[in-house]
Amino acid sequence: MPPRRTARVSSQRFAAGEADGLIAKLQELLPDSSISSGGYRKAKILKEACDYIKKLHREVDDLSENISRRRIQQ
Question: Do 23 and 46 form a contact (C-beta atoms < 8 A)?
Answer: yes
Question: Tens digit of pLDDT per residue, the chain (74 long)?
Answer: 455 666 666 666 767 789 889 999 999 999 975 566 555 788 999 999 999 999 999 999 999 999 999 999 98
**Which structural domain range is residue 40 located in?**
2-73
pTM (two decimals): 0.68
Sign of CA dihedral 30, 35, 39, 43: negative
Q: Residue 48: what pLDDT?
A: 92
Residue 72 DSSP class? H
Task: For residue 66, give the CATH number of its domain.
Answer: 4.10.280
Tell me phi and psi for residue 35, to 5 degrees. Answer: -140, 130
Q: How many Cα atoms sit within 13 Å of 53 on the Cβ side?
A: 9
Domain total in the chain: 1
The phi-psi region of residue 30 (left if phi > 0; otherwise alpha if psi is between -120 and 50; otherwise beta) is beta
